[in-house]
Amino acid sequence: MVEDISVIKLKQKMDNGNKINLIDVRESYEYEEFNLGGSLIPLGELPSRLSEIEHLKSEEIIIHCKSGGRSAAAQQFLLQNGFNNVRNLIGGVLDWQREFPD
């Protein structure tokens, strides 16, 4: 089982300059309102866009949405399709905005 990640741990990774494969599975209007700089692949498009992230199968991928529900579904889907290090951002963008209100 892959361990999920908190917004605090993700921010630490970002601040340390670590390479992060961040995928936002929200809709484009949500992404336009606020995003963490990840790649936008809405949950409904994920199955048809797998080839775009195929090269990341053995790398850590962090999936997020608004609160963690859609990203949990995306995480399961990717794990079932051979991606072996997919982490869900606990609490999603809502937790991020709560923790880092700037």
Q: Tens digits of per-residue pLDDT, 64-101?
A: 999 999 999 999 999 999 999 999 999 999 999 999 99
Phi-psi label, residue 55: left if phi above 0, alpha if psi -120 to 50, beta otherwise: alpha
CB atoms within 10 A of CB 47: 9
This prediction has a pTM of: 0.95
Query: Hey, CA dihedral for 41, 46, 88, 83, is it positive or negative?
Result: negative
**pLDDT, mean over the chain:** 96
Report percent pLDDT > 70 for the chain: 99
Q: Rounded to whole angstroms, how far apart are CA atoms 93 and 80?
A: 25
Residue 1 has pLDDT above 70, yes or no: no
CA distances for 1 relative to 17, 23, 41, 52, 66, angstroms: 26, 19, 23, 24, 23
Ordered by where they begin, the domains of the chain are 7-99 (3.40.250.10)
Residue 41 has pLDDT above 90, yes or no: yes
